[in-house]
Structure 1
Amino acid sequence: MTKTVRVRFAPSPTGPLHIGGVRTALFNYLFAKKHGGTFVLRIEDTDQNRFVKGAENYIIESLNWCHIPFDEGPGKNERFGPYRQSERKALYKQYADVLIASGHAYYAFDTAEILDFHRKDHEAKGKTFVYNWHNRLKLTNSLSLSAKETQAKIHAGEPYVIRFKSPQGQTLHLKDLIRGDIKVDSNTLDDKILFKSDGMPTYHLANIIDDHLMQISHVIRGEEWLPSLALHYLLYKAFGWDIPQFAHLPLILKPTGKGKLSKRDGDKLGFPVFPLEWEDPKTHEISRGYKEEGYFPQAVVNFLAFLGWNPGTEQELFSLEALITNFDIARVHKGGARFDADKIKWFNHQYMQLQDNVSLAEAFKSEHNALEDIDVNYIALVIGLIKERATFISDFWDLSFYFFKAPKQYDNKDLNKAIKEDTPELMAELATLVSTMDAFSSKNLQITIKSWIASKNVGFGKVMMPLRLALVGALQGPDVFDIMYMIGKTETVSRIKTLMRHLP
């Protein structure tokens, strides 16, 4: 790839960044880094009516949390700035005028009422109204009016839009890095609005101009923009500019595999669809985020990478660096990728096992007042024993509370299973045995207690089940001898004796 790679992620600040948007940003980032290129963030805020305060900061914070920060963008390396389209407003009109002058665009004065009339009239006849070559000369625009009439309307301040003049009778041959060759009949295209009556460009015009001026080499975006590819191709041709390579990513589908994943799907099925928590500035409704739900950013990124791409091997766990090395746009699928809420939990569980225990301990300690006075290194040792059963840091307390305080009650079902007629006698002897031990280590406890059980000629479970119940309060948890060693001799004996007092 000889051309310098420059890609862009161009979200609109109309609300929180959807997980599908994060996936688009990630694939752009991976492609850029794979080819030694630049990842650009551009804020496409031409639709001022849908602008939401705080959305831009949310987008930037989300990218940073995912460890996929932009190289150029608002406030950062502004080589081709500004990077907010609202601040580039003066640029777009002059380029729209270029298209007017070259005959590739025209002024249209049709009112909303007239266009609505035509739509309803077509619907009544079982047709669809399309503003293009077959009717534009019958409508009110600079193609059907004389130059004098057109100028008179403009000078009179009549509202107008600028439309692209789509060609007639052509077969367009388009290329997509994911979908291959695409043919489009130009007769099916409508004359899209490029410049609105409010003085702002539409997405179609602004993104083409910005991509050209920012020297974007590859446009990697969602499948929903595939129907616009023909128009964007024609705009590049109309300006006489080099056309970037396009790649349209597959949709992220609902867990059922039917339809595009939406916020409502997450609300209904109980999983986040946003990277960070979001509070709607108008309704104050709070949407859950992966960060606040306890997911590791590495797990979220690894999961998203596999939504529509695979490395061609059985390997599933990839660091960000490994994703960059292995990413190949040719291995991105055409078909939609089903969102699997259980799979992202699996990824989080896997990354939990890779985390440093001290870091996990610090996070765990910060969430529980009961751990305030406990040495973080002790907590880290506990986490090392129980984290294989955990998916989130929030799971730690239920899995490990007995390392920090004695159980106050016992699971009734486990009591019935563990307690036999000779249990009080066996536990009394065990308490005495443990209290007399000098070398109190997991290994020595195991050797001594197993040897004692063998000498008693009783089943292993007859001792180990009530012992575990005494220590934990239930028949669960890591190795019993590790628990005994961690809580110490005095606490171990105390818990055995407390269970004995509980028995009838």
Structure 2
Amino acid sequence: MSITTRFAPSPTGYLHIGGARTALFSWLYARKHGGSFILRIEDTDLERSTQESVNAILEGMTWLGLEYDQGPFYQTHHFDRYKEIIRQLLDQGDAYYCYCTKEELESMRAEQMANKEKPRYNGKCRDLKEHPQGRERVVRFKNPTEGVVTIPDLVKGEIVVANKELDDLIIARADGSPTYNLTVVVDDMDMKVTHVIRGDDHINNTPRQMNILQALGAPVPHYAHLPMILGSDGARLSKRHGAVSVMQFRDDGYLPEALLNYLVRLGWSYGDQEIFSIDEMVEYFRLEDVNVSASTFNTEKLLWLNHQYIMNSDPAHVARHLSWHIGQLGIDPSEGPALMDMVLAQRERCKTLVDMAAAGQYFYIDFDHYDEKAVKKNFTQGSGEVLAKLYDRFAEVTSWEGDVLHQIVAKLAEDLGLGMGKVAQPLRVAVLGTSVSPGIDITLKLLGREKTLSRIRRAIEFIKNLN
């Protein structure tokens, strides 16, 4: 059997973390089994769907690297097909017109609730012989009233639902537009989807969709319902828990591989292994190993994982992503040291690319002020003379290499009878405006000869004015 999975978001907002995990699990399953992964945009909610949301979903999928084999397909392009299926169900007696008004439905539900019954449509129009004229009508699916629907869920195990618990759901609105449970069934059938992997908030929809598929004589796909993701307070993950948009994590300086690695571990495990390459995810992933219980989103764990990726990934790959963050600061990354060198210099201390860009920005542009605490601690009596001597020695250097520059700093400290910090720290503040940076040899190498000399001159003048 050829495996086909799909990710089918509604374009009513950004690509959120829960959707990204669903997409990842569907993508992994297709890749593991040599199958096809489909991206389908379920945009039939015309009032809430926007092109901006479509763009956000596509941008998120691209950033994560979850390439799709087919699509994106748009449900709004298939309305004629949905109408054809609705007509087929009506003709074969598996659907009917319902003329109940909103007031009648509300009265029906109120009476059921007063009798402590489950509110549902009572089938009033199910066997109408005469059809009222001039009244709005919807189309309802004639759900079986006997027997059960058995869902052999690949994550949760067997789920059994009695048909008498399911009412006759609306499959076409009064204006003729199809509803979600009809469109998803038709698309899964036409696209030959074999495995539907989605959040467990869809479990209530699954038996209804299975009944429609059986009425159409279509194969029923395998279903796998993923447990929800919770915030740290135990509530379902939402906007109030912070960054839940995939692209917000890009903006916050995370690498896509780190986020994917974190998402795959939200509900799935392979022994005690924490860090997985994409190839390892594909090799080891099994739906049967997905946990049944909900997972809790832990930002600290994600931050730790991101730091591991920054430290251990190919520096050139990290540099490609860092370039965007440097650009967000209004800096042209070509006007300074190579970004790969910046990554190598900063990766031990920076947990995000935002941190790295902020820490490295003054290698590219001049700073407009010195850190006050750094000045108070390091621009003390005699520091101006130290910087002047460093300037003279650096000015004579013909080979601007880290080991050469380090020796100059160390030799001056020795000549003056000072500790290395008494020379290196004023120099660091002079050239970067702060007392925190990579090793002084790396700092000077990245900064380059002209910027180093210019900033030392500036610091000497600044110190004179302090006194």
Asked whether the two chains share a fold, i.e. TM above 0.5, the reply is yes
Q: How does 1:259-408 map to 2 (within 5 A)?
A: 259=236, 261-262=237-238, 264-265=239-240, 269=242, 271=243, 273-276=244-247, 289-291=248-250, 295-319=254-278, 321-353=279-311, 354=313, 355-356=315-316, 359=320, 363=324, 366-367=327-328, 371=332, 374=335, 378=338, 380-390=340-350, 393-396=353-356, 398-404=358-364
Q: Is the 8 A contact 1:164 1:193 kept in 2?
A: no
Tell me the CA shift for residue 398 of structure 1.
Answer: 3.4
Tell me the CA shift for residue 467 of structure 1.
Answer: 2.5
Tell me the CA shift for residue 476 of structure 1.
Answer: 0.6
Amino acid at match of 1:326: Y
Tell me the CA shift for residue 34 of structure 1.
Answer: 1.0
Q: Is the 8 A contact 1:409 1:473 kept in 2?
A: yes
> Could you tell me which residue of structure 1 aligns to residue 126 of structure 2?
141
2: CA distance, partners of 1:213 / 1:373: 50
1: CA distance, partners of 2:76 / 2:196: 16
Question: CA 1:11 to 1:99, structure 2 compared with 1: closer, same or farther past 3 Å?
Answer: farther
Identify the match of residue 161 of structure 1 among 136, 139, 146. Answer: 139
Question: CA 1:290 to 1:484, structure 2 compared with 1: closer, same or farther past 3 Å?
Answer: closer
Q: Secondary structure at the match of 1:42?
A: strand
Tell me the CA shift for residue 265 of structure 1.
Answer: 1.9
TM-score (norm 2): 0.83
Note if 1:204 corresponds to 2:181: yes
Question: CA 1:492 to 1:15, structure 2 compared with 1: closer, same or farther past 3 Å?
Answer: closer
Note if 1:256 corresponds to 2:233: yes
- Deviation string, structure 1 residues 239-267 (Cα, Å, up to 9, x no partner): 444322110011122342312x23x426x
Q: Is the 8 A contact 2:197 2:224 kept in 1?
A: yes
Q: Is the 8 A contact 1:43 1:84 kept in 2?
A: no
- Deviation string, structure 1 residues 82-141 (Cα, Å, up to 9, x no partner): 8844242332223322551xxx55544332211211222333444443335xxx4xx343
Q: Report percent identity of matched pairs.
A: 30
Amino acid at match of 1:308: G
* 122-131 vs 326-335, greater mean Cα deviation: 122-131
Unaligned runs of 5+ in 2: none
> Could you tell me which residue of structure 2 aligns to residue 281 of structure 1?
none
Question: CA 1:141 to 1:164, structure 2 compared with 1: closer, same or farther past 3 Å?
Answer: closer
Note if 1:485 corresponds to 2:436: no
2: CA distance, partners of 1:490 / 1:8: 56
Q: How does 1:443-482 map to 2 (within 5 A)?
A: 443-454=403-414, 456-482=416-442
Q: How does 1:122-133 map to 2 (within 5 A)?
A: 122-132=112-122
> Could you tell me which residue of structure 2 aligns to residue 411 of structure 1?
371
Tell me the CA shift for residue 481 of structure 1.
Answer: 1.7
Runs (4+) off by over 6 Å = 154-158
Question: CA 1:228 to 1:457, structure 2 compared with 1: closer, same or farther past 3 Å?
Answer: same
Q: Secondary structure at the match of 1:162?
A: strand
Q: Is the 8 A contact 1:42 1:84 kept in 2?
A: no
Amino acid at match of 1:219: V
Q: Secondary structure at the match of 1:153?
A: coil
Q: Is the 8 A contact 1:361 1:380 kept in 2?
A: no
Q: Is the 8 A contact 1:43 1:85 kept in 2?
A: no
- Deviation string, structure 1 residues 297-324 (Cα, Å, up to 9, x no partner): 43443333333223333232423x4332
Q: Is the 8 A contact 1:434 1:493 kept in 2?
A: yes
Q: How does 1:412-431 map to 2 (within 5 A)?
A: 412-419=372-379, 421-431=381-391
Q: Is the 8 A contact 1:303 1:344 kept in 2?
A: yes
* 105-114 vs 239-248, greater mean Cα deviation: 105-114
Amino acid at match of 1:96: L
- Deviation string, structure 1 residues 369-394 (Cα, Å, up to 9, x no partner): 6648836x545534432344445555
Q: Secondary structure at the match of 1:478?
A: coil
Question: CA 1:173 to 1:481, structure 2 compared with 1: closer, same or farther past 3 Å?
Answer: same
Tell me the CA shift for residue 183 of structure 1.
Answer: 2.8
Note if 1:5 corresponds to 2:3: yes
Q: Is the 8 A contact 1:250 1:333 kept in 2?
A: yes
Unaligned runs of 5+ in 1: 76-80, 277-288
* 463-472 vs 120-129, greater mean Cα deviation: 120-129
1: CA distance, partners of 2:400 / 2:143: 86
Q: Is the 8 A contact 2:194 2:221 kept in 1?
A: yes
2: CA distance, partners of 1:15 / 1:29: 21
> Could you tell me which residue of structure 1 aligns to residue 99 of structure 2?
109
